[in-house]
Structure 1
């Protein structure tokens, strides 16, 4: 698994098939409200979607528990992103004519607790062939990067970038979105640690002495860069 040059991490099948079936089933029977209710500042004027309320919805809470658990248990996310705090996900629905215009995520989010939003994650819950449009578009130094991933896949991206969701022209786009605060704030430092750990894991059995020395370097860099 590699982090792209733009700092985005594509996690294939973040949800196991049975977890995906449960999440989609809960979203199918759950209640949705106007997505503008959670938008702030300029984002409210460009947001047109529906979402499951995070309070007073058992289905939303159950989905949140599943998604947060798989994030916490995924070794790639833990190595590459090093999440310290994760917000309960928002399940959103886009039907024909709905979109989320160009915006930047709030630097601080949360109701029960507040986090610094270092990265955002979109977990796709609809088959990409079941709807038209609805791409997640991120503005980066190399231009627009578009994502319309397989059902159960997730993309993790820096919240510092402007991004949008293209209008859905047919079908229905279902997704879960969350944000994380990282133990190591700087994305370049996280990438260094991720690659260092991957290289060190290959040495574990091939060269135990080299593995131990590199493990010491890896551990000491975390001590230098971590924010707790």
Structure 2
């Protein structure tokens, strides 16, 4: 999977996040990396467990978890805690694969899907593309601020070196209730069909109920939670 989801945050929300990010404590990103990732990670990460950080974490999590396209595509069961990443000139995150689990204790989450929510205007920095080697080929993304890229955690990916400006992004992981990627893709297609039918058929037409039945029964069949 490689999916760009537009407008997870609007311009006013982006400005709010950027302002609050400037007041946070930032640490070396290698503190949260392990294995090969530690050797190729060169960025800064914010402490989101302080008072201001927790407030920002809650704000971002609410926006992410409530987005209908993300819910339809990921079929989420659990979300990891979020990380805020800052990548400046000369910094990058080389090719790596995400750990199978992140967090510890009650916060431990299996990583089926990863996401990057871009928080900087792409014109404000050079480089910093998110590059993912998926089955369909190599994908490169540097979307508008407020857009999110969703991709399989098991795919090799990297953040290319930033050569000018600063790249601010929010990253996190999802444990999906539907672990089979093909099943998730089929459900996403059906959800897109349901949205399209909503614009063409009256709400009381029987096709809506029939499609809802199919989706619900497939979720029951495929869900692991």
TM-score range (shorter-chain normalised) is over 0.9
Say yes or no: does 1:211 pair with 2:208: yes
CA gap of 1:176–1:203, structure 2 versus 1, over 3 A, is: closer
- CA drift at 1:92: 0.7
**Aligned residue pair count:** 221
Q: Is the 8 A contact 2:48 2:56 kept in 1?
A: no
Distance 1:203 1:165 in 2: 38
**Aligned partner of residue 223 in structure 1, secondary structure:** helix
- CA drift at 1:72: 2.0
Q: Paired residue for 2:52, among 53, 59, 80?
A: 59
CA gap of 1:76–1:142, structure 2 versus 1, over 3 A, is: closer
**Aligned partner of residue 20 in structure 1, secondary structure:** helix
Q: Which aligned pairs between 1:94-173 and structure 2 lie closer than 5 A?
A: 94-111=87-104, 112-173=106-167
Say yes or no: does 1:32 pair with 2:29: no
Say yes or no: does 1:227 pair with 2:224: yes
Distance 1:125 1:59 in 2: 18
Distance 1:60 1:90 in 2: 10
Say yes or no: does 1:12 pair with 2:6: yes
Q: Note the residue ranges of structure 1 that are not aligned, 5 or more in a row.
A: 1-6
Distance 2:97 2:151 in 1: 12
Distance 1:210 1:14 in 2: 30
Q: Paired residue for 1:75, among 48, 68, 71?
A: 68
* Greater Cα offset, 98-107 or 195-204: 195-204
CA gap of 1:224–1:142, structure 2 versus 1, over 3 A, is: closer
Q: Note the residue ranges of structure 2 that are not aligned, 5 or more in a row.
A: none
- CA drift at 1:211: 2.1
Give the corresponding residue for 1:193.
187
- Scaled by the length of structure 1, what TM-score is found? 0.91
- Scaled by the length of structure 2, what TM-score is found? 0.92
Q: Is the 8 A contact 1:27 1:59 kept in 2?
A: no
Q: What do you get for the CA RMSD once the two structures are aligned?
A: 1.5
Q: Which aligned pairs between 1:33-52 and structure 2 lie closer than 5 A?
A: 33-52=27-46
